[in-house]
Amino acid sequence: MKRVQKALLSSSLVLVIGAGAGAYAWFEGYKKNQKLESQAEQDKRLFSFGRIHLARIELKNEHGLFVFEKNANHDWIITSPIRWPAHQDVVNQIADQMAAIKSHVDITNDASQEQLQQYGISKPSVSVSVTRKNGEQFELRVGLKHNFENGYYISDQNQKRIGLAPAHFYDLFTRALDSFRAKHALPYRSDLMTRVIIQKHDQPKVTLEKKDKAWFVNEKPADFTIISKFLMILTRDLRVENFVTDNFDVTSKEQRELYGFEPESFKLEVALSDAKTVQTWISQAPETLGERGPFLHVVGTKSVVRIYENFLSDINKDAYIFRDRSISRFERDEVNSIKLRYSTGKRSKLVKKGEDWVFEGPNPKTAKPWRVDTLVMKFSRLSSDEIVTESATKDEISRWQLTNPIHQLTFLDADNQILGDIHIGKRRDDNYVYLRSGNSDRVDVIAIETLAGLPDSDESLATE
């Protein structure tokens, strides 16, 4: 290499290391960035594309050929040598590094076969091919490392131009398979999930399904907060501890037994908004393998991975866990009056007068506003601890003292429309009491401590 070329390379390396790919992380297209660069800098680039336009990437290095393709949700999927969701950030970095690569020293613009061999371009150590959505293709060929400078010889698909580029891109392009794999077993956004089916061996299915914006469990209303936490477990916490094998033969009883899938402990099926369905098997860790955590297999792949030890308890949930156990749900500021029935059988009514609460009757008394506000707040978002039955008989309702409840609180709006009607019955045991909403056939129990402070007379609410 000529002395002037060496000097140019040395000074260029200092200026550009760490800066090449960053500018291209989120760009819409090459033309947008042309305005930010001098013509000399533009001439150093080999390519003019942005990752947003790519549909396919092929990376070949000493570990093999890796193929990444975009799915319907525009996420990268590894399709060869195995099929598995890709680590989105890493694959995007591959695209960005290739798009940003520059030849800071040009060796030739009309390479001969001898030069292609001399600089390692004819048999590259690394090659990256990308295909745009319009079918246009680009290829980066990486040859030998320079003997003195920290750089590699590079060329494009035409193999005419050979240049020398700083080496900061090289490590990313030379990694093995596991570096490109998603570390989440279900790397999907929770808002894209429309159905989750949990099947424990020999137990009834638990089906969580999203209809419009509401979730249901086995066709019954589900608790949104509990569902959200469970989806967070699936999408955030369900991480791969390590990739055990990519040669799992699902038809082999011997292999199914080896990984604990004969039979599996759980089957988990997730449906996404694009109609895609992902099925997984989860097993206890067989003692023969000495593993400390359970195994997971994604149906349709040949992979078995180890996941965190407590996932089996996280997924081992009966349908009632997900149920919406709401007894009453209303806005506090809509309450205009409250009907009360005390355990003595006496009935009373509170009416809101401006900022005050007043007992209705010939001798109206003012109630303590903070006591009434606390009452409204507690019952505006009341949930039970357990659903006893969905269809209580008349005998059961009577036996649990809900026909003529021990306590009753009815909250009404300014138009005298019922917002919430809570009937509280007898104790089930030392910790829980029966209750139901209005004349519903559903009966629940709630912890006695939750109802602490329930008024037992007008005097307990009235001001002095």
Q: What is the pLDDT of residues 425-440, one digit of tens each?
A: 999 999 999 999 999 9
Residue-wise pLDDT tens digits, 365-406: 999 999 999 999 999 999 999 999 999 999 999 999 999 999
> Is residue 343 over pLDDT 50?
yes
Which residue in this structure is represented by tokens 């602490």? 452
What would the mean pLDDT of 339-346 be, rounded to a whole number?
94
> Is residue 10 over pLDDT 50?
no
Q: Which one is predicted more confidently, 151 or 27?
A: 151
What would the mean pLDDT of 195-223 be, rounded to a whole number?
94
What amino acid is encoded at 71 in this protein?
Answer: N
Q: What percent of the chain has pLDDT over 90?
A: 77
What would the mean pLDDT of 214-241 be, rounded to a whole number?
95
Which residue in this structure is represented by tokens 């005298």? 416
Which of the four CATH numbers 3.30.1460, 3.30.70, 2.30.30, 2.60.40 does domain 326-460 have?
Answer: 2.60.40
What would the mean pLDDT of 72-94 be, rounded to a whole number?
93
Per-residue model confidence (pLDDT) at position 123: 95
Residue-wise pLDDT tens digits, 293-331: 799 999 999 999 999 989 999 999 999 899 999 999 999
Per-residue model confidence (pLDDT) at position 48: 86
Query: What gap in Å lies between CA 173 and CA 98, rounded to an integer?
Result: 9
CATH 2.60.40 intervals, the chain: 326-460
Query: What gap in Å lies between CA 323 and CA 313, rounded to an integer?
Result: 18
Q: Band the pLDDT of 21: cuts 50, 70, 90.
A: very low
Residue-wise pLDDT tens digits, 39-78: 667 678 889 888 888 999 999 999 999 999 998 888 999 9
User: How many Cα atoms sit within 13 Å of 150 on the Cβ side?
Assistant: 13
Per-residue model confidence (pLDDT) at position 36: 53
Query: What gap in Å lies between CA 457 and CA 352, rounded to an integer?
Result: 18
Q: What is the pTM of this model?
A: 0.74
What is the pairing mode between strands 407-412 and 418-427?
A: antiparallel
> Is residue 445 over pLDDT 50?
yes
Q: Which of 69, 140, 67 is nearest to 99 (CA)?
A: 140
> Is residue 290 over pLDDT 80?
no
What would the mean pLDDT of 162-170 be, rounded to a whole number?
93
